[in-house]
Structure formats: structure tokens, C-alpha cells
């Protein structure tokens, strides 16, 4: 028997006991170990494996001495997680000039050494070598193992205590500074006031229920003339009132929300079945055979590439560099850098970056608007108004944090050839920082399902989906016939897609073409992004509904756009998520006459979450956090949906999503061939005037100063809902509702974590 004990730093210790006959007391502490690999040769330098011979046999040893073999590996040199290593240890004992071979070779199997804490070493041909008898003969070894494990366990206590104290200190600091940097210091909003009033009523009701529980008023109903106190009479009146008036209304609302929930679940299931069928039949967009011939001159049509940006210092250089390295004839491509930054120094930095690529022969233009209206839509609209745009047939759009591979145009533009009715080819997003923190992991689950299932299925079966605003190629004729970019909503990408579909244009989604980008790492940035993504579609629905009804597309396409694309996926989903799980469920704890079935709370949501995670199978360990976090985000999505539907002020807010400027390994390799920064600055300085040199000095100072990050804040709506759900969880204990209690408890704790901004990036 042998044990492998990790030391917490990725190293392993193998303690192997060996028993045999013929070992006398006059043996020497000399040992030779030869290690061979049973499957393939392992280079110690390549795989980072070091073998130390540390055998000690005392002179007065018994017939079954213990032999210690220490094996360490260096995790910095190699990663052994993905495969197993079978080592045959042939142990030779040198005894008085004679070499006695071990009865048989011992096979040690090490699988995933970073995570395994116990490995059994078995001698297949010699059952007595590692028998239980020998283990029982030396109990000190097992005592030491237990002590080591206990020491490791106790060593975690200071770490846990330190984490707890750090979290408490962060929470205290955020609460103390919450008034100075509150997101809505003067106007909290009607939703927040409603939740706060609901919380106050729930707390009062909870105390009344607890008092009634200890007085056993809940066991039976007494006649009015038998009431012994005013408080008991109030409690009995409340029971009668809620049973006669509140419970029927709440039951009706509950049934309505459950029906919406089931309809949305069926829609999600149908999408998954469609995706499974496409995978099973290997259905993909087909390129015409002659379109893949590079000798054909028409294979390289004129392409305009646009990079809209606004105050995105962290990412502009890598996106411009990636676009300028697209594999396309230089005389048939033009890069437009559309800069809406209001920082003069940042403008000059972007201009210098464009100038450096222009000197390398790239056809690139820098554009800056003096009148910056219409946000991104206004920026794109202004760029499309240039006279030279009429010379180009297609336009590719990339946001400032997107870095396409050099073959992007060669994989997307050929889909247009021979298909004059195709107006858009959309590529998939992949994320360079998807494993940065828990928030980015949960976002990755959602977006993987969106691209792998929703976009792919809708693109194949309906030839329509919402344009994602970036990483796509448009036929310029389709943009012009659809009315171009409009500034009427905050989702200009969805707006142009809907209008193009109403004009009869078809869309193609290419799941195999992927473009790297960033996910927001802070909850504040993610929340603002989601607010814009869910308020904009409701604005667009109000504006486009008359056009949809009067368009010439088929009735089936009209129904799909109205009921599935807009109502079910953009309006009903956030409505029932917030109403059912954040309002109705807590209410049913205080009004038990209206019961919510356990399968609505637990079973169906878990099945739907599993379907959502299928496109990202590595995220299965985050199943429960994903389910709880999605319900938490329903508050933001519901608030955004209402503001967009009823034209509230927050529906027209546009906030640029915060970027960090992370680069993948492929990006770093791609940029390794670039000239040094000093050489570029030297070329630029030759053409700058004296005032320009001063500006260049300011640019250097601007680059050296690190950008200050906004501190984490308190989110009051989420905190109010956290206390509401925890109050309802306490009430559910009185009625012994197990599933309801655990759901309310964990959902309330999730709201608490999010409300204290303990998820995502933590700024000290």
C-alpha cells in the first residue's frame, strides 16, 4: 500500500512500504531504483519529473523494513492533468555485495496528481507484499497520515477566517460610502419603493405568524366570540381576508405565470432539439464551389471594415492591429477607424496608431466626429455617408474589443457569392476572459447558448436572427434598402436586422468562424450592458409593430417575429422570471392558500438550466450558481423591459461597456512582429510641429498613468429582495416546506452577494 500526500503546492509524496523475505539485519542503506515507462519514454527534462532515491534501512531492522521513495514533479514545467502515467519501479537491494531482485515489478498509476490525495500501489503478482498484515504491523504510519491530513485541514481555518474578515471589511466600507456613490441618490425608482414596501409588510407578517405559531393559533380556527385578545382577533380576520380575497387573485396570477413559464420552456426545448438535429445531420452553411477558388478575381470583392469606438483606451490598439492584418488584397480593403472619443490625448493616440499602420501599406482612415450624436448608430451612419463607400460591396463591423483572425474575410465573404438575397453573415463570439471570475463564467454559459443554439437554429430554419452588432459582414445594398443605421433606439443592430428581414433579405450564421472579444468583468458593467440589451428591444417593438403587420413577408414570419422573437424571448421571459420567483413565491409563504408546486421551483428550472449549459459542458460545476444568478438578473431585465416598453428615461441611456484590454496568447504572437513603440514615435515626431511634440509628451504621460477603477458599490434593489426572500424563507420554516425553504434561502443569499457586489471584479 502506498499513499500520495499533496503539500498544497502541486507536489506529491509517494510513501511506499515494501515487505519481503531474505532481508537480513546486516543490510546497507544503499538502493538503486530504475524507472521505466510502460507505454512511452518520458524525458525528465521535458515532463519535469525528478526522481529522488531516499531509502533508509536501519541496521537493526525487522524482516519487513519500510522503504521510502520520494517522487516530486514540477507543475511549472508540465501539466499532468490530462493523462495518466504508468511507471514500473524495479527495486534492487544491494545486500553484502549481492543484488536481490524484487519478486515482481510494482506499477504506480498517477492520474491528475494535482487533485488526487490518495493513490494505491498494488503488486499484482505478490499479494503479500502490501498486505493488510503489514499495514497493521505499523500503525504509526497511518497515525502520521491522519495527523498530516488534520494539519492540512486546520491550515485552511486561517485562510477562511482571513477571507471572512476581508469580506466583512469590504462590505462595511461599501456601506459607509454607499451614499457618496449611489447609482440613484435622489430617485430610487418605483420598483425599488415597491420592493421596500413589500419587505416591510413581509417582516411585520412574519412576526405576527411567529407569535401566532407559538400561541398555536394556526392549529384551529376559533369562533369570533371565543377570541381572547385583540391581536388574536386581528390574526383571525387576516386569515379570513386572505382566504376569501387575496388567495384567489394570487392563484390566478400564479397559474398565468406558470403557463408562460411552460411556454417559454417548450420554446427552449424546441431550440435545443433543432440544434441537436443540426449536429446529428452535420448541417452547416454551404459555400458555392466556385466561390472557394482564389484564382477567381471576383473572389475578392471590395470590402470596407469599420471599427467604431468611444473612449476605449485599453483595447483600441489590439483591435486596429488585428483588423489591419486581415488576409485580403490591400487594394480591395479599406479600414475605417470611427473614433468618438472626447479625450484629446486619446484621439491623438488612436490617430498615431492608424498612422503607423498606414506607413506599412495598410489602406486605413481615421475619422472623428465633432458633433457626436446618436451614439454608435450615429457614428456608423456618418461613416456610411462618405463618397468612397459606394465603391465597396460589403462592410464588416468590429467593436473595439474584437480581434478577428486573419482569415475572417475569407471564411465569411464567400457565403455571399451566388446568393444575391443574402444580406448578412454573422460570426460567433469567443471570450478571452471567460475564466477570469465567477461572473464571466456565468456570462459565458448564456452567450454560448445564444450563439450555439438560438442564432444557429434561427439562421438555418428561418434565415433570420438578431444582428449582434459586431463580428458580422453586411451587403451594403441591404443596408441601404433597409434605411441604413437609425438612432431611434439603443439596439441599432437589432433595428437594422428587423428592417432588413422585412425587406426580404436573408441571414447566414457561421458558427465555425469565431472572433475573440471581452466579457465585462465587473457587475456594474454587466448590469448596464444587460439594461441596454433588454430595454432596447421593447423600444424597437413599439416602433416596428406597425411595419411588421403591414409588411409583405409571410404570415408565418410575421408571427415568428411578433410572438417568438419579441414577445416570448424579450418580454415574457424577464416578466415571468421576476414575477414568479421574486414576487409570487415569497407571497405564497405568507398566503399558503395559493401554493406554488415544487416542480415549478426546482425540477423544471434545473432541466432548463442543464439545457442552457449543454453548449458549454465545462461549465456544469456552475449549474446551481447559474440558475440562482439568472433569477437574480431578472430584476435588472424586468426593470429594463418596463422602461423600454413605457418609454421611461433610463431606456435611452447608452453606457459604453467597460473593457480591460486582455489579450490571448494568439494575439500576443500576432503582434510580436510589430515594430517597437519607440521607432513609431520617432517617425511620428519627425512630422510634428513644436506643439505636436508637446502633445506627444502628454500622450506618454497619459500612457504611463494607470487608469483608476471605480470602486464596488451597493445595489439597493438586490439587497431589498435579498432580505425579502430570506424573510419568506424564515416563514416557510413554520409550514415545513422543504424545497421552498432551501430555494428561498439560497436565492436570498445570492441576491445578498450580488447586492453587496461580491461577484465579479473586486476593486480594493
- Which residues does the annotation mark as catalytic? 340, 493
Q: How far apart are the C-alpha atoms of 452 and 615, rounded to whole Å?
A: 6
**Helix segments in 360-475, DSSP class H:** 375-384, 408-412, 438-449, 456-461
Q: Closest by alpha carbon to 352, among 39, 679, 629?
A: 679
Query: What cell does 348 get?
Result: 491623438
Long-range pairs of 382-390 with CB within 8 A, sequence gap ≥ 24: 382/338, 383/306, 383/308, 383/336, 383/338, 384/476, 384/479, 384/484, 384/485, 388/334, 389/304, 389/476
Q: Match 400561541 to its residue by C-alpha cell.
A: 215
Q: How far apart are the C-alpha atoms of 350 and 714, rounded to whole Å?
A: 35
Q: How far apart are the C-alpha atoms of 153 and 532, rounded to whole Å?
A: 46
- Length of the chain equals 764
Which backbone phi and psi does 52 adopt, to 5 degrees?
-115, 130
Q: How far apart are the C-alpha atoms of 260 and 545, rounded to whole Å?
A: 22
Q: At what angle do helices 344-359 and 316-324 cross, to 10 degrees?
A: 20
Q: Closest by alpha carbon to 522, among 617, 613, 616, 440?
A: 440
- Contact yes or no for 353/313 (Cβ under 8 A): no
C-alpha 636: how far from its chain's center? 17
Query: What cell does 553 get?
Result: 413577408
Three-class secondary structure assignment of 282-350 = CCCCCCCHHHHCCCCHHHCCCEEEEEEECCCCCCHHHHHHHHHCCCCCHHHEEEEEEECCCCHHHHHHH
The residues near 130 (Cβ < 8 Å, ≥ 6 apart) are 1, 2, 17, 18, 19, 121, 122, 123
Q: Closest by alpha carbon to 731, among 212, 193, 232?
A: 212
- Contact yes or no for 406/325 (Cβ under 8 A): yes
Q: Closest by alpha carbon to 514, among 562, 592, 455?
A: 455
Ramachandran class of 207: left when φ > 0, alpha when ψ lies in -120 to 50, beta otherwise:
alpha
Distance between start and end Cα atoms, the chain: 48
Burial (CB count <10 Å: 0-12, 13-18, 19+), residue 688: middle
Q: Closest by alpha carbon to 218, among 202, 204, 232?
A: 232
- Contact yes or no for 518/664 (Cβ under 8 A): no
SS3 content of the chain, % helix, strand, coil (to 5): 55, 15, 35
Q: How far apart are the C-alpha atoms of 249 and 96, rounded to whole Å?
A: 94
Q: Match 424545497 to its residue by C-alpha cell.
A: 739
Number of other residues whose CB lies within 10 A of the CB of residue 262: 13
Q: Closest by alpha carbon to 340, among 304, 303, 314, 377?
A: 377
Burial (CB count <10 Å: 0-12, 13-18, 19+), residue 361: exposed
> What is 51-105 written as a DSSP string?
EEE-----TT--SS----EEEEE-TTT---SSSEEEEEEEEEEEETTEEEE-SS-
Which backbone phi and psi does 39 adopt, to 5 degrees?
-110, -45
Amino acid at each position: 500500500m502506498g499513499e500520495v500526500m499533496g503539500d498544497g503546492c502541486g507536489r506529491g509524496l509517494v510513501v511506499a512500504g515494501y515487505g519481503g523475505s531474505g532481508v537480513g539485519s546486516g543490510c546497507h542503506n544503499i538502493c538503486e531504483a530504475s524507472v521505466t515507462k510502460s507505454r512511452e519514454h518520458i524525458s525528465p527534462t521535458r515532463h519535469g519529473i525528478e526522481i529522488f532515491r531516499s531509502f533508509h534501512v536501519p541496521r537493526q531492522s525487522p524482516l519487513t523494513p519500510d522503504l521510502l521513495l520520494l517522487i516530486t514533479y514540477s507543475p511549472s514545467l508540465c501539466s499532468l492533468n490530462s493523462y495518466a502515467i504508468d511507471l514500473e519501479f524495479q527495486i534492487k537491494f544491494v545486500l553484502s555485495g549481492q543484488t536481490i531482485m524484487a519478486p515482481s515489478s510494482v506499477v504506480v498509476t498517477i492520474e491528475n496528481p494535482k487533485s488526487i490525495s490518495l493513490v494505491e500501489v498494488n503488486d499484482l503478482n505478490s499479494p503479500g507484499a502490501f498486505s493488510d498484515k503489514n499495514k497493521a504491523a505499523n500503525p504509526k504510519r497511518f497515525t502520521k497520515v491522519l495527523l498530516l491530513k488534520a494539519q492540512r485541514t486546520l491550515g485552511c481555518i486561517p485562510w477562511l477566517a482571513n477571507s471572512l474578515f476581508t469580506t466583512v471589511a469590504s462590505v462595511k466600507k461599501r456601506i459607509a460610502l454607499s451614499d457618496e456613490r449611489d447609482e440613484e441618490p435622489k430617485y430610487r425608482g418605483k420598483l425599488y419603493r415597491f420592493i421596500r414596501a413589500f419587505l416591510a409588510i413581509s417582516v411585520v407578517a412574519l412576526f405576527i405568524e411567529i407569535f401566532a405559531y407559538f400561541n398555536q393559533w394556526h392549529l384551529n380556527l376559533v369562533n369570533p366570540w371565543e377570541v381572547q385578545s385583540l391581536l388574536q382577533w386581528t390574526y383571525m380576520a387576516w386569515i379570513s381576508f386572505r382566504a376569501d380575497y387575496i388567495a384567489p387573485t394570487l392563484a390566478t396570477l400564479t397559474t398565468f405565470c406558470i403557463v408562460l413559464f411552460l411556454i417559454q420552456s417548450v420554446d427552449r426545448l424546441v431550440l435545443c432539439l433543432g440544434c441537436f438535429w443540426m449536429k446529428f445531420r452535420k448541417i452547416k452553411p454551404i459555400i458555392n464551389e466556385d466561390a472557394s477558388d482564389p484564382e477567381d478575381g471576383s473572389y475578392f470583392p471590395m470590402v470596407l471594415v469599420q471599427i467604431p469606438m468611444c473612449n476605449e483606451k485599453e483595447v483600441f490598439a489590439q483591435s486596429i492591429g488585428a483588423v489591419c492584418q486581415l488576409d485580403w488584397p490591400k487594394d480591395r480593403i479599406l479600414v475605417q477607424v470611427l473614433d468618438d472619443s472626447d479625450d484629446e490625448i486619446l484621439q491623438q493616440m488612436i490617430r498615431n496608431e492608424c498612422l503607423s499602420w498606414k506607413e506599412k501599406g495598410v489602406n486605413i482612415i481615421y475619422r472623428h466626429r465633432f458633433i457626436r450624436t446618436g451614439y454608435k448608430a450615429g457614428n456608423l451612419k456618418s461613416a456610411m455617408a462618405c463618397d468612397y463607400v459606394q465603391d465597396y460591396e460589403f462592410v464588416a463591423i468590429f467593436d473595439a474589443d474584437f480581434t478577428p483572425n486573419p482569415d475572417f474575410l475569407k471564411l465569411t465573404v464567400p457565403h455571399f457569392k451566388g446568393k444575391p438575397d443574402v444580406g448578412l453573415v454573422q460570426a460567433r463570439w469567443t471570450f478571452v476572459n471567460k475564466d477570469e471570475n465567477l461572473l464571466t463564467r456565468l456570462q459565458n454559459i448564456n452567450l454560448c447558448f445564444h450563439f450555439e443554439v438560438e442564432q444557429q437554429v434561427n439562421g438555418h430554419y428561418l434565415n433570420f436572427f438578431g444582428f449582434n452588432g459586431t463580428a458580422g459582414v453586411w451587403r451594403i445594398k441591404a443596408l441601404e434598402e433597409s434605411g441604413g443605421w437609425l438612432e431611434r433606439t439603443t439596439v441599432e443592430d437589432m433595428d437594422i436586422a428587423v428592417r432588413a428581414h422585412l425587406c426580404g433579405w436573408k441571414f447566414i450564421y457561421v458558427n465555425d468562424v469565431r472572433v475573440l472579444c471581452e466579457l465585462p468583468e465587473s457587475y456594474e458593467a454587466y448590469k448596464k450592458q444587460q439594461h441596454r440589451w433588454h430595454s432596447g428591444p421593447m423600444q424597437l417593438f413599439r416602433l416596428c409593430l406597425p411595419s411588421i403587420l403591414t409588411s409583405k413577408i409571410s404570415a408565418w414570419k410575421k408571427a415568428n417575429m411578433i410572438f417568438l422573437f419579441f414577445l416570448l424571448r424579450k418580454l415574457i421571459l424577464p416578466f415571468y422570471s421576476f414575477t414568479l420567483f421574486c414576487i409570487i413565491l415569497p407571497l405564497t409563504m405568507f398566503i399558503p392558500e395559493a401554493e406554488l408546486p415544487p416542480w415549478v421551483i426546482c425540477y423544471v428550472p434545473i432541466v432548463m438550466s442543464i439545457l442552457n449549459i449543454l453548449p458549454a459542458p465545462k461549465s456544469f460545476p456552475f449549474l446551481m450558481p447559474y440558475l440562482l444568478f439568472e433569477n437574480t438578473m431578472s430584476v435588472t431585465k424586468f426593470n429594463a423591459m418596463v422602461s423600454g416598453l413605457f418609454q421611461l428615461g433610463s431606456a435611452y441611456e447608452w453606457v459604453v461597456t467597460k473593457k480591460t484590454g486582455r489579450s490571448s496568447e494568439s494575439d500576443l504572437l500576432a503582434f510580436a512582429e510589430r515594430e517597437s513603440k519607440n521607432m513609431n514615435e520617432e517617425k511620428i515626431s519627425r512630422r510634428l510641429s513644436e506643439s505636436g511634440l508637446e502633445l506627444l509628451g502628454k500622450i506618454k504621460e497619459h500612457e504611463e498613468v494607470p487608469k483608476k477603477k471605480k470602486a464596488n458599490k451597493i445595489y439597493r434593489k438586490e439587497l431589498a429582495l435579498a432580505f425579502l426572500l430570506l424573510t419568506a424563507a424564515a416563514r416557510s420554516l413554520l409550514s415545513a416546506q422543504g424545497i421552498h425553504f432551501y430555494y428561498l434561502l439560497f436565492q436570498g443569499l445570492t441576491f445578498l452577494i450580488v447586492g453587496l457586489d461580491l461577484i465579479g471584479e473586486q476593486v480594493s
